[in-house]
């Protein structure tokens, strides 16, 4: 099974070019997490359904947040103080909603993974974000050179 995972990760870059950008990112993230967490087959079988639900809930909250705060900098001058206050209060509530999702899924992660891998999961997610930003910056730099 480990060989299968290694082969899948090795072939991942070839599949990424045939997919839309969002799917490329998701495929890269799955490979990144799988490799870093070094999931056993049993862990993977139990982990991914929980993680996918976690991500779905986070995405709903984050989508609402993006819709609420499309271009606030452009609108600040046109907004009353009460409107700005309401917008900031909504931002705080939405951030709390994200934290509530983490609090909800943390015990579930501990049920399907050893605690060291749960801790590593949180760190690896941050590492993934940094790696993705780095890749975006590199691509942007390549485009600017031409």
Alpha helix stretches (DSSP H) within the chain: 2-16, 21-37, 41-68, 72-75, 81-112, 115-145
**Polymer length of the chain:** 146
pLDDT in tens, the chain (146 residues): 554 444 444 444 444 444 457 788 889 899 999 999 999 999 999 999 999 999 999 999 989 888 877 665 556 778 888 988 888 898 899 999 999 999 999 999 999 999 999 999 999 999 999 999 998 888 877 666 54
What pTM, to 2 d.p., does this model score? 0.74
pLDDT computed for residue 79 by the predictor? 81
Measure the CA–CA gap between 56 and 62, rounded to whole angstroms: 10
Rg (C-alpha) for the chain, rounded Å, is: 19
pLDDT computed for residue 121 by the predictor? 97
Measure the CA–CA gap between 22 and 14, rounded to whole angstroms: 16
pLDDT computed for residue 39 by the predictor? 93
Question: Other CB atoms closer than 10 Å to residue 77's CB: what's the count?
Answer: 6
């Amino acid at each position: 099974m480990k060989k299968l995972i290694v082969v899948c990760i090795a072939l991942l870059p070839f599949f990424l070019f045939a997919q839309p950008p969002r799917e490329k990112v998701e495929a890269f993230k799955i490979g990144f997490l799988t490799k870093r967490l070094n999931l056993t087959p049993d862990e993977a079988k139990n982990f991914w359904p929980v993680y996918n639900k976690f991500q779905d809930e986070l995405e709903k909250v984050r989508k609402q947040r993006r819709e609420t705060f499309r271009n606030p900098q452009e609108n600040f001058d046109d907004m009353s103080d009460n409107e700005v206050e309401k917008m900031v209060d909504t931002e705080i509530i939405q951030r709390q909603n994200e934290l509530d999702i983490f609090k909800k899924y943390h015990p579930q992660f501990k049920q399907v993974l050893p605690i060291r891998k749960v801790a590593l999961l949180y760190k690896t997610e941050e590492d993934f974000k940094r790696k993705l930003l780095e890749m975006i910056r590199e691509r942007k730099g390549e485009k600017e050179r031409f």
